[in-house]
Amino acid sequence: MWSEVVEKGTFPRWMKKRDAIISDVETKDWIFREAEIDELQEIRLELLHSLQSQQREKQSNRTSRKLAKLWSCKKQEMQRKIDHIRRTRDR
């Protein structure tokens, strides 16, 4: 019986309706999945931007501390040289 229906290419109306419903459900399911994926990607992107911002801030702070330390060392060295020059000049 089914082989005759398939060979003829005529399907009962309820089968066509069932196929349309299944197709509609699958389409809605895919749309929902795509929306979920988009939402997850957006969250991941925001997290990535946040982490990059934190890393830039940490790097900037490290650089500032390093420059401040270097400036302090150079300033002390310059002060020692000035003091040495003043001591040798006043002899």
The token pair at 68 is: 């401040």
Number of domains making up the chain: 1
Which H or E element spans position 86?
A: helix 13-89
Q: How confident is the model at residue 90 (pLDDT cuts 50, 70, 90)?
A: confident
DSSP letter assigned to residue 11: -
Residue 16 domain boundaries: 2-89
Most confident of 3-7, 15-19, 21-25: 21-25
Query: 38 Cβ partners below 8 Å, 6+ apart?
Result: none
Please report the pLDDT score of residue 19 as a whole number. 81
Please report the pLDDT score of residue 10 as a whole number. 63
**pLDDT 10s digits, 46-71:** 999 999 999 999 999 999 999 999 99
On whether the CB atoms of residues 5 and 11 are closer than 8 A, the answer is yes
What distances in angstroms separate CA 18 from CA 7, 24, 87, one per listed residue?
A: 20, 10, 103
